[in-house]
């Protein structure tokens, strides 16, 4: 009855939910205008999120304007009739402490956001509100209103169109360097040319600005026309998720989204109200009449695409799944193919390719959704040098495995395999971990709502696919039923995994090996052409599969069918016990999911054991364990670090095969050599509690067997490990842009961060004997052990896990520690002295086409509560202001990164961006200009403004009961990047939270109280903060005019195009063109300009620097340092008192001594050491780990 009054249609669905979502209440409804909506009420949530998906994408692009759909996605965010400010929506999100994003693919465009769920009112965020906006409205309510307005009346401001098109051009410039994007574009090149999938869809400045003009089309008019035709309610799905009641969420959806109107010219009469949820098939209704033929028809099969490209050699098999997508079991067939082809257990195809034949370093299988009812099974291989020379052999091995192990598999064996796969699937879903942020999960659900619900059961919407056991059993004997499923699976495999139903893509530096796959190119080179959008050279030619198989007939094909999963015995009962449908839990409160603290349960001179007892549902049956074995007997050295890396590489190669079946049930592992800059070996393991001990002991025993038997069984393994480590070094050396600069900053500032050149030199020298000696010293020598356990377990379990480490030499060592008076210290962070701004310029690699800048401001020490709280405050402000100014207003880059950066012992702020259009000196200048603008804005605030726009919003953030902000806002989890890890994800939310606490333990920053308690502790420093104190801190630490700030600016130019002159007589001033000269453009408006010398970078006052450039001939008589010093004396005579002060104010960069600027990865250890000694402050050790534990023994860390 209520539905009739409101004009909505509610569908009764009994949802399948995992254990971690047992607190949720869900409702599916159709709004009066036809929008299919899913509402998720969860009283335990601390975040609210929303997502709206539209069944339109790049396949709707007009022929002459590729990228228009993507362009529309960008422009929708930039102002609406009701809220016209271009950055209004992003400002609201940022100042509320939230996030937002969007994506466009061929058939879908999805928009999504999240904000902390607090009692904060929109008027307290310090945003200029419309006169009709109630300042007392809650932030989420207002955000949802603004979000809905994006789809009603976007303004498509003409003046912003050009700017945003250039931003898309920047985005495309990033894609051109991305191997995954290159391979995906390769799939387009192989596709049916009459299908829109074959067209370029991202867009760039040429397709969005120049092409429309040549077609006499106005970009804004094209956008308006595209929006009105495609952004219509019947093509939309909506998901709203939050702690509000399900009825309140229904009201919010109805108020905000039911008035989205249909502006399309098409007949809307056919979009009548659905009476059954199975009538929803939005993608099919939108696209099934738009296509002519499949993406890969018969004419498009049997082809090979060769792409000439730098980087790793990739081989991709593409099996289109035409003709079976309507089968109820299609999802299960795809899951089984992915599992069979990707199985890395002993004797399987992957084991053969990786371990025995050394043809590939990794093999991945997955499903690629190309379009409506167009899917492809993909097998992706990273080839070794041996694999590059033997691609025909890889093809032969694959199809022999398909024929012998799948097509000819006995029905009983295949039936058992599918049954085990079904049980594994049930267990993984029931105990699924939170994989992503709230908005990302919400967007995935909104995307799934576009599916055909006559095939996908709506109760499986959170899973995203049907299961083997979803079909109703009509009384057939289960054994016969599974054999029937096995028979159907094998028949489908004959059709899909056929030698006439695949394409091949090869991404490789040289084409000589690819040509051997074609009869016509076996004796002559390939006919390469250049791609118009990605710029790579390529050729497409027919595969001569019969010749390949004939030439490799003698190839060994002894490949096994995967063995039964022994781990199912422990966990089989889980699936039956917890396979329950959704029951709403209406009386759950946030108190029921409160976060607990980590506490020390046992310690001595040689060990410490930490336990975090969890009460959250997702930890009911799951355990996380991290440990670090730190050698005291072995001194820190490049040799020790590389030996540890080799040990981890070898261990990981064994575990990836030995624990593959455990991984299929959600167990994960990760290896961390040299954790925190120590000579140590770190391990992280997670998984279901039942069976966890077996996996844990397996890892320990593998490590022990390797250490004890290096010379006996690891000669081949060492060779493979050295190649893998060398390839990893090469990847680091060839890294690009912000990622490279961020890593470089870590190497400069962190103690014991051994640079690449030293590691590479040691890698060449290490042989089996060296590694054996190292392992022996590690095993028998003194060790300090740190163990961290997280889960619903007692302290006795943590102690038992510690005793399992006795076999690794961790037993009875305390007496030796005491007698030798050994003290264990953690490496610390070099700090930047007050008053120094260090600018380091590097040249990019040949394939690095962007200019990048990383601007780091040191704020203080991680153990200082005031420093930490102020940095968090400024970080929250920086993120919103920098996005608004640098991204929206100045359009400098596709994405602007900013926020908080934590090192082992210091904390600071950073701004990072990459650009195709601007040189790095211009980007630095823009950052300076932004900081001046930000400073001016802050100074303009009255005391009332300061309280309402800064303190109140931040106070609301501190009051929010969540840790997502901490999780996603910080950079320091990158310090815990594993060298080797399981195939199953170790980057989910639970794992990241675990690593945050683990990093604090090993770095001796014991600020892991209850999340709220920790924030309130820091907030005490903020509640009493005055405007004057706030501005003084900004002036001292952040302002570009500050004489006491501590800053490092790292920049990377594309391709090393800056010339630096070197002479034997001494440094000379560089003669650079005006466009490249930091003196003229890079530091305009900044009092310290930059003049480059061959060996150093020196800072001069801008006015003097300009004159100095004009009279550079007379300057040669003096040393550059002397000239700089004299200029500083004349310029700062009012403020500078002594030579010491002057020395502290200008900076010398001595990281390169060659004629051209060196790439960051080539900087030597001696250069870094000289730089650290000259310009940084070396940290001093005060207390050892044991003393720190004693200091905290009376705190809340202990019982």
Tens of pLDDT along 939-959?
999 998 888 888 877 776 665
Range of weakest confidence among 338-342, 501-505, 901-905: 901-905
pLDDT reported for residue 1081: 28
Which residues are registered as beta bridge partners of 375? 369
Model confidence at 569, pLDDT cuts 50, 70, 90, reads: low
pLDDT reported for residue 959: 59
Model confidence at 1192, pLDDT cuts 50, 70, 90, reads: low
Name which of 364, 319, 360, 358 is nearest 342 in CA terms. Answer: 364
Q: 427: Cβ–Cβ under 8 A, 6 or more apart, which residues?
A: 571, 574, 575, 665, 666, 688
Using CA atoms, how far apart are residues 237 and 107, in angstroms rounded to an integer?
A: 13
Q: Which CATH class is domain 2-169+201-287?
A: alpha beta
DSSP states along 875-939: HHHHHHHHIIIIIIIS---S-EEEEEEE-SSEEEEEEEEEESSS-HHHHHHHHHHHHHHHHHHHH
pLDDT reported for residue 1056: 45
Q: Does the pLDDT at position 1045 exceed 50?
A: yes
Q: What is the pLDDT of residues 579-599, one digit of tens each?
A: 544 444 444 445 444 557 888
pLDDT reported for residue 213: 66
Taken in order 493, 494, 498, 500, is the CA torsion positive or negative? negative
Tokens linked to 641: 């670090």
Q: What is the pLDDT of residues 780-821, one digit of tens each?
A: 888 999 999 999 999 999 999 999 998 887 777 766 666 666
pLDDT reported for residue 616: 77
DSSP states along 323-348: T-TTSTTHHHHHHHHHHHHH--STTS
pLDDT reported for residue 1117: 38
Full-model pTM: 0.86
Q: What is the pLDDT of residues 1076-1085, one digit of tens each?
A: 222 222 333 3
pLDDT reported for residue 949: 80
Q: What is the pLDDT of residues 95-116, one digit of tens each?
A: 888 899 999 999 999 999 999 8
Model confidence at 1169, pLDDT cuts 50, 70, 90, reads: confident
Average confidence score pLDDT of the chain: 81
Range of weakest confidence among 175-179, 276-280, 503-507: 276-280
pLDDT reported for residue 798: 94
Tokens linked to 1122: 């002397």
pLDDT reported for residue 411: 94
Model confidence at 565, pLDDT cuts 50, 70, 90, reads: confident
Q: Buried b / exposed e across 453-476, counting CB within 10 Å, b at 16+?
A: bebbbbbbbbbebbbbbbeeeeee
Is 3.40.50.720 the CATH classification of the domain at 301-551? no
Using CA atoms, how far apart are residues 176 and 839, in angstroms rounded to an integer?
A: 29
Q: Could you tell me what percent of the chain has a pLDDT over 90?
A: 47
The answer to whether 1070 touches 1093, Cβ cutoff 8 Å, is yes
Q: Does the pLDDT at position 2 exceed 80?
A: no
CB count within 10 Å of CB 487 equals 13
What 3-state DSSP class applies to 156? coil
pLDDT reported for residue 1185: 73
**CATH number belonging to domain 594-819:** 3.30.830.10
Between the alpha carbon of residue 716 and those of residues 183, 358, 469, 705, 724, the distances in Å are: 32, 10, 44, 16, 13
Q: Does the pLDDT at position 900 exceed 80?
A: yes
Of these ranges, 113-117, 188-192, 321-325, the one predicted with the greatest mean pLDDT is 188-192
Using CA atoms, how far apart are residues 597 and 83, in angstroms rounded to an integer?
A: 43
Using CA atoms, how far apart are residues 911 and 909, in angstroms rounded to an integer?
A: 7
The average pLDDT across 163-169 equals 93
Q: Does the pLDDT at position 1033 exceed 90?
A: yes
Name which of 861, 866, 1156, 800 is nearest 1033 in CA terms. Answer: 866
Q: What is the pLDDT of residues 422-476, one digit of tens each?
A: 888 888 888 887 767 899 999 999 999 999 888 888 888 888 888 766 665 556 6
The answer to whether 786 touches 1186, Cβ cutoff 8 Å, is no
Place of tokens 């593409």: 318
The answer to whether 444 touches 31, Cβ cutoff 8 Å, is no
pLDDT reported for residue 472: 53
Of these ranges, 575-579, 651-655, 892-896, the one predicted with the greatest mean pLDDT is 651-655
The average pLDDT across 225-233 equals 96
Domain ranges of the chain: 2-169+201-287, 301-551, 594-819
Name which of 525, 982, 946, 603 is nearest 786 in CA terms. Answer: 603
Asked whether the domain spanning 594-819 has the same topology as the one spanning 2-169+201-287, the reply is yes
CB count within 10 Å of CB 216 equals 6
């Amino acid at each position: 009855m209520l539905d009739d009054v409101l004009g909505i249609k509610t569908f009764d669905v009994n949802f399948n939910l995992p254990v971690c979502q047992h607190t949720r209440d869900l409702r599916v409804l159709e709004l009066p205008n036809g929008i299919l909506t899913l509402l998720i009420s969860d009283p335990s949530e601390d975040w609210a999120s929303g997502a709206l998906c539209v069944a339109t994408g790049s396949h709707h692009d007009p022929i002459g304007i590729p990228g228009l759909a993507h362009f529309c996605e960008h422009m929708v965010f930039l102002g609406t009739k009701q809220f016209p400010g271009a950055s209004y929506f992003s400002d609201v999100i940022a100042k509320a402490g939230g996030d937002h994003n969007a994506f466009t693919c061929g058939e879908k465009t999805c928009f999504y956001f999240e904000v902390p769920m607090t009692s904060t009112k929109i008027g307290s965020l310090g945003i200029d509100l419309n006169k009709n906006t109630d300042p007392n409205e809650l932030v989420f309510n207002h955000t949802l209103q603004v979000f809905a307005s994006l789809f009603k009346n976007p303004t498509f401001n003409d003046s912003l169109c050009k700017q945003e098109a250039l931003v898309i051009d920047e985005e495309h410039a990033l894609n051109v360097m991305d191997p995954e994007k290159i391979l995906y574009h390769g799939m387009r090149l192989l596709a049916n040319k009459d299908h829109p999938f074959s067209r370029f869809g991202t867009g760039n400045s040429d397709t969005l600005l120049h092409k429309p003009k040549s077609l006499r089309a106005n970009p804004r008019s094209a956008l308006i026309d595209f929006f009105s035709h495609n952004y219509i309610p019947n093509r939309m799905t909506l998901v709203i998720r939050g702690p509000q009641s399900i009825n309140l969420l229904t009201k919010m959806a109805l108020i905000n989204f039911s008035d989205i109107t249909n502006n399309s010219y098409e007949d809307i009469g056919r979009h009548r109200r659905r009476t059954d949820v199975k009538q929803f098939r939005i993608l099919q209704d939108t696209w099934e009449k738009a296509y002519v033929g499949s993406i890969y028809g018969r004419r498009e099969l049997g082809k090979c695409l060769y792409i000439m490209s730098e980087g790793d050699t990739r081989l991709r098999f593409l099996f289109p799944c035409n003709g079976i997508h309507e089968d109820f079991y299609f999802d299960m067939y795809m899951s089984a193919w992915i599992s069979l082809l990707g199985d890395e257990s002993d004797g399987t195809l992957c084991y053969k390719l990786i371990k025995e034949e050394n043809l590939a370093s990794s093999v991945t299988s997955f499903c690629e959704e190309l379009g409506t009812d167009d899917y492809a099974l993909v097998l992706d291989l990273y080839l070794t040098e041996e694999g590059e020379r033997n691609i025909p052999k890889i093809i032969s091995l694959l199809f022999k495995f398909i024929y012998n192990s799948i097509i000819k598999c006995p029905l009983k064996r295949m039936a058992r395999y599918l049954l085990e796969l079904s049980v594994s699937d049930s267990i993984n879903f029931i105990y699924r971990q939170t994989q992503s942020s709230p908005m990302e999960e919400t967007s995935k659900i909104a995307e799934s709502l576009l599916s055909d619900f006559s095939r996908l059961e709506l109760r499986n919407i959170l899973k995203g696919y049907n299961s083997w056991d979803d079909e109703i059993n009509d009384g057939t004997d289960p054994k016969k039923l599974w054999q029937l499923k096995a028979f159907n699976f094998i028949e489908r495999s004959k059709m899909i995994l056929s030698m006439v139903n695949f394409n091949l893509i090869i991404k490789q530096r040289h084409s000589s090996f690819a040509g051997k796959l074609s009869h016509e190119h076996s004796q002559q080179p390939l006919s390469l052409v250049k791609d118009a959008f990605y710029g790579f050279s390529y050729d497409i030619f027919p595969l001569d599969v019969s010749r390949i198989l004939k030439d490799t007939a003698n190839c060994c094909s002894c490949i096994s069918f995967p063995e039964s999963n022994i781990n199912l015995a422990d966990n089989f009962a889980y699936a039956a016990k917890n396979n329950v449908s959704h029951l709403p839990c209406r009386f759950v409160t946030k108190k029921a999911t409160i976060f607990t603290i980590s506490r020390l349960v046992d310690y001595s001179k040689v060990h410490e054991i930490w336990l975090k007892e969890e009460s959250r549902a997702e930890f009911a049956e799951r355990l996380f364990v991290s440990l670090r074995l730190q050698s005291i007997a072995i001194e820190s050295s490049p040799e020790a670090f590389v030996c540890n890396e080799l040990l981890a590489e070898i261990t990981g190669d064994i575990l990836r095969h030995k624990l593959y079946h455990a991984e299929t049930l959600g167990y994960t592992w990760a290896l961390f050599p040299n954790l925190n800059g120590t000579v140590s070996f770190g391990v992280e393991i997670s998984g279901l509690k039942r069976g966890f001990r077996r996996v844990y002991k397996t890892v320990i025993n593998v490590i022990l067997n390797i250490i004890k038997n290096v010379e006996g069984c690891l000669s081949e393994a060492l060779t493979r490990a050295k190649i893998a480590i060398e390839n990893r070094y090469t990847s680091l050396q060839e890294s690009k842009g912000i990622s490279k600069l961020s890593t470089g900053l870590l190497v400069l500032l962190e103690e014991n961060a051994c640079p690449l050149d030293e590691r590479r030199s040691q890698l060449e020298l290490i042989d089996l004997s060296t590694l054996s000696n190292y392992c022996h010293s590690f095993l028998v020598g003194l060790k300090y052990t740190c163990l961290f356990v997280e889960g619903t377990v007692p302290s006795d379990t943590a102690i038992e896990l510690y005793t399992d480490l006795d076999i690794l030499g961790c037993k009875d060592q305390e007496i030796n520690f005491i007698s030798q008076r050994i003290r264990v210290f953690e490496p610390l962070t070099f700090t930047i002295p007050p008053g120094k701004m260090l600018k380091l310029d590097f040249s990019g690699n040949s394939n690095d086409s962007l200019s990048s800048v990383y601007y780091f401001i040191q704020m203080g020490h991680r153990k200082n509560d005031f420093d930490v709280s102020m940095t968090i405050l400024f970080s929250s402000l920086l993120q919103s202001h920098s996005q608004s100014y640098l991204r929206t207003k100045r359009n400098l880059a596709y994405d602007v990164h900013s926020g908080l950066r934590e090192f082992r012992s210091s904390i600071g702020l950073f701004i990072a961006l990459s650009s195709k259009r601007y040189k790095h000196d211009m980007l630095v200048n823009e950052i300076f200009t932004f900081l001046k603008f930000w400073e001016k804005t802050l100074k303009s605030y009255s005391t009332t403004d300061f309280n309402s726009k800064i303190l109140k919003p931040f106070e609301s953030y501190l009051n929010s009961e969540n840790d997502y902000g901490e999780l996603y806002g910080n950079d320091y989890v990158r310090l815990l990047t594993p060298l080797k890890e399981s195939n199953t994800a170790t980057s989910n939310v639970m794992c990241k939270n675990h690593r945050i606490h683990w990093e604090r333990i090993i770095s001796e920053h014991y600020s892991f109280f209850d999340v709220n308690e920790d924030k309130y502790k820091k907030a005490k420093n903020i509640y009493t903060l005055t405007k004057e104190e706030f501005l003084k801190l900004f002036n001292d630490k952040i302002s570009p005019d500050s004489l006491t700030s501590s800053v490092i600016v790292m920049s990377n130019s594309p391709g090393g195009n800056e010339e630096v002159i070197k002479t034997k007589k001494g440094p000379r001033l560089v003669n650079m063109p005006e466009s490249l000269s930091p003196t003229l453009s890079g530091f305009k408006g900044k009092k310290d300009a930059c003049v480059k010398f061959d060996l150093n970078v020196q800072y001069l006052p801008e006015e003097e620097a300009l004159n100095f450039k004009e009279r550079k001939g007379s300057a040669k008589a003096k040393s550059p340092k002397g000239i700089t010093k004299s200029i500083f004396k004349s310029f700062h005579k009012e403020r500078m008192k002594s030579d010491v002060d002057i020395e502290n104010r200008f900076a010398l960069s001595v990281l390169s001594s060659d004629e051209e600027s060196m790439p960051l990865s080539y900087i030597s250890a001696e250069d870094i050491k000289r730089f650290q000694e000259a310009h940084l402050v070396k940290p001093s050790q005060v207390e050892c780990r044991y003393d720190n534990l004693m200091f905290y023994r009376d705190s809340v860390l202990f019982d």
